[in-house]
Structure 1
Amino acid sequence: MSNIFKTPEESRVVISMLMLPSHANFSGKIHGGHILSLIDQIAFACASKHSNNYCVTASVDVVDFLAPIEVGEMVTLKATVNYVGNTSMVVGIRVDAEDIKSGTKKHCNSSYVTMVAKDDEGKTIAVPGLKLSSDTHIRRFAREIRRKSIKRNSSKEMKATNFNAEEFVELLKDYNVELG
């Protein structure tokens, strides 16, 4: 446990960038992979700012694409440390897009990325604690505890489920597959 604590605001990172044709697919929508790359970059910046160390991505838990992003829109990513463990941090990221001409804004993505702090030798290193000074901070931290519990239980359930061939066939009857 660290004796140093930081508020989420101390490591908050916000970036905005114009979406260019080089970021788009053939239908003029921005590639999801490009947005994922930006999410990973801002998660790194936020976690590194919180930990004062180099950080690596351990997992990307939730990536919900809620609305397409068009070429010419201004995309803003906001990253905040929502949870800290001993050596890891969960960074919450919100992605919004704005039509520059009309000023219309839309929420396009929310993501949660687990980052791990590393020392110069590549070993995990303790991170500062998180100072929760508002209801929003407490809610985000508590939600992350719950999300981690759900993920852990889901993983245990999948490992414990031992499908045999007959169970698979029965399970697949309700899906758009052809067994051959």
Structure 2
Amino acid sequence: MSAWKFNANHNAPSAGRTVRESLSEISELALANDANPLGYLIGGRVMHLVDIAGAIAASRHARAPVVTASVDYMNFLHPIQIGQLVTVRSAVNRAWNTSMEVGVKVFVEDLMSGEVKHTTSAYLTFVAVDGKGGKLTVPPIVTESEEEKRRYEQAGARRAYRLEMKKKLEAGNY
């Protein structure tokens, strides 16, 4: 039996859902069990947190289980020291038929000084699924601010690039 409980009455509203309905934020302390030999959080742990936060935003938007279809590149701008607070924020930028692009940002806070730094950003694509291998239609995204409109438009350009790269990979030309 699947760990996911799927709602068979899933119906995506035609009016769509707002970006704010998908907002997600998770925080945790960087602990020693996830440290590299220099005392910094390993990149794989950051990637794990990015995937979790992205999946939460996508699931909130789709109101269904989701799977990760792709992750755009990740740059690590600042190291995260053990003992610092890691906060990951995510939101759906745009939704297509069955897939969604989610923007994720990672911040680190030094709890002693209060200094906050942006450490990582990534774009992930998630697909809504029914638990039996089938894809589900997701509602469109409704933008409410100029920033959301900008992210919506940029997501379209990134999707076109991802689809082109996928074609090249499938053809063995990359």
Equivalent residue pairs, number: 163
TM-score (ref. length: structure 2): 0.86
1:91–1:115 Cα contact (<8 Å) kept: yes
Tell me, in whole angstroms, the C-alpha distance in 1 between the residues paired with 2:96 and 2:13: 10
State whether structure 2 residue 134 is matched by structure 1 residue 123. Answer: yes
Give percent identity, aligned residues only: 37
**4+ aligned runs moved over 3 Å, structure 1:** 151-163
Match for residue 94 of structure 1 among 105, 123, 126: 105
- State how 1:131-170 maps to structure 2 within 5 Å: 131-154=142-165
Match for residue 41 of structure 2 among 7, 30, 44: 30
- Matched residue, 2:57: 46
Q: Which runs of 5+ in 2 are unaligned?
A: 1-11
- State how 1:68-83 maps to structure 2 within 5 Å: 68-83=79-94
| CA shift in 2, pair 1:16/1:160, >3 Å | closer
Structure number with larger C-alpha Rg? 1
| CA shift in 2, pair 1:103/1:80, >3 Å | same
TM-score (ref. length: structure 1): 0.83
Match for residue 109 of structure 1 among 93, 105, 120: 120
Q: Which runs of 5+ in 1 are unaligned?
A: 164-180
1:97–1:108 Cα contact (<8 Å) kept: yes
Match for residue 23 of structure 2 among 12, 21, 36: 12
Tell me, in whole angstroms, the C-alpha distance in 1 between the residues paired with 2:163 and 2:62: 25
